[in-house]
Chains A and B, each alone.
Chain A
């Protein structure tokens, strides 16, 4: 199957460098060609009962982090808030 790099990049919120585009497209196509070889298994995908994921009882967890601690890693902060571009006109 052919992979449409521009469309997938848009979905993934990525941009591929113009200079690298050709090699990137070629590499991606060969990866897609590789993974395509899968047998047809005539079964439905059932919920895996063996999965160790167990439901947990609800339990209130108190927040152990301070606002300052969390904002230390933020790229841009103003008055204790994250700065983001305007999204509503």
Chain B
């Protein structure tokens, strides 16, 4: 039985019916990893022995008749910017090549306490900066649908592993689209939760006011199960919000009747590939046929969002990444003359080009004389964008857009042109700027490559969002997330 092909919800049932064991599930996933990892390259660190040990403990607990969490025994891969005690957490950077955190991120504590089985740490763009995972210092991850193409980024490893059957679910992080964009490119489901709903404690910071950890999976229900586990208040994150302990999976409803869907015309404009546009519009039509009410809306400030995003995120990044100085942890240059020389050489040798560009941009927009022209304007625009979304949600329940303007591009195609790479985030950055939740679901193929539809919800309305995504998934009879890897 190829257990790696099953969803977390199916495996959870099978474990309880004693149709398989947690060890068998882990073995199936690891033999799949052995089979395809040399083609896909989604992992930076594998934890096979620890995973099998954990699976044995889960089987023993089941045999002893213990009540376990629904996700107990389910293999999960974790993006390599989420701190795992005793397991290397590199952020795909030379700077943290040998860094082993002495503590767990809150989400990892939750995963451990639910007895999930951690398969390993997943590749990403260095410090989560990028849209193709090509900025990893260590390796290139390939798109399981076409090995010559990128998996998207920055959570490229998280999306590719789930699409390749190398993990049942995974965790990514999303600052401007880093969960949703790779989910769209790899044809899986990825949720960027509302800012403040998942603790960021232990997530290596990129842009603290925009970063959010979120789940990826092959079904909406799996994503809902994982989101229920990881969300909730945490004292260790000052921006974390008290939201109780919702069970999104239990409350899933597929009925789309009466759901009001807003279609913002700005997201279907010239820059969007016509095939992508068509696939997303077809999906919306399907939902309309099932009883949803579709309404055109306008989010006029969208065209400025990318500019505002790159100013705010880079400003925060330049500050957050100042901690990498070669003193207390991380890389230190071997030869230096004095303290300043050590700082400069350490940072220049430890960071890759894209990280340097973002630090430089952030330093520039915050530097003397430029603050008003850039940062202040961007923050005012952020307020305006949030206001436009709030106004839209007075009339609609969710908003539907393409996740990315195109399908997955070829490895190397955009890497020399940062501006071209940045435009891959044009449909996703607004959501982080406004702090909203959004999910990407597969909505068809264009030239055999997956297309993603982004559904956006109002703040803390994850249930509405997941219900809409679940409704669509049921309409199309489930997503075909596992391509043949050739």
* Residue ranges of A at the interface with B (Cβ–Cβ < 8 Å): 1, 3, 5, 8-9, 11-17, 20, 24, 27-28, 30-32, 34-41, 43, 45, 48, 50-54, 56, 64-65, 69-70, 72-76, 82, 84-87
Contacts and interface: CB of A to CB of B under 8 A. Distances in A.
Given A41-B380, A45-B380, A70-B102, A34 B356 contact: no
Interface string B288-332: 000000000000010010111011000000100010011111111
A37 B304 contact: yes
Contacts, number: 145
Given A27-B418, A38-B377, A52 B196 contact: yes
B241 A52 contact: yes
Interface stretch (B1-9, B248-256, B342-350, B399-407): B342-350
B195 A9 contact: no
B384 A74 contact: no
B328 A74 contact: yes
B355 to A, nearest CB: 10
Contacts of B330: 73, 75
Interface stretch (B56-64, B132-140, B219-227, B358-366): B358-366
A12 B377 contact: no
Contact of A35 (B102, B353, B374): B374
- If over half of B's interface residues share one DSSP class (helix, strand or loop), that class is named, otherwise mixed; here it is helix
Contacts of B318: 12
Interface string B229-273: 000000100111100000000000000000000000000000000
A36 B308 CA distance: 9
B327 A38 contact: no
Contacts of B377: 38-41
Given A34-B419, A35-B310, A72 B304 contact: no
Contact of B239 (A15, A17, A53): A53
A48 B379 CA distance: 10
Given A28-B360, A76-B332, A45 B344 contact: no
A75 B360 contact: no
B103 A65 contact: yes
7 contacts: A13-B325, A13-B344, A31-B419, A52-B195, A52-B241, A84-B339, A86-B339
Contacts of B381: 38-39, 41
A20 B416 CA distance: 12
Nearest to B235: A56
B410 interface: no
B308 A38 contact: yes
B338 A32 contact: no
A16 B356 CA distance: 9
Interface in B113-165: none
B360 A14 contact: yes
B409 interface: no
Given A8-B363, A85-B338, 7 more contacts: A14-B351, A41-B381, A45-B379, A50-B386, A53-B239, A70-B102, A76-B332
B375 to A, nearest CB: 9
Contact of A75 (B240, B331, B347, B370): B331
A34 B310 contact: yes
Contacts of B301: 39
Given A56-B235, A85-B342, A11 B363 contact: yes
Nearest to B356: A14
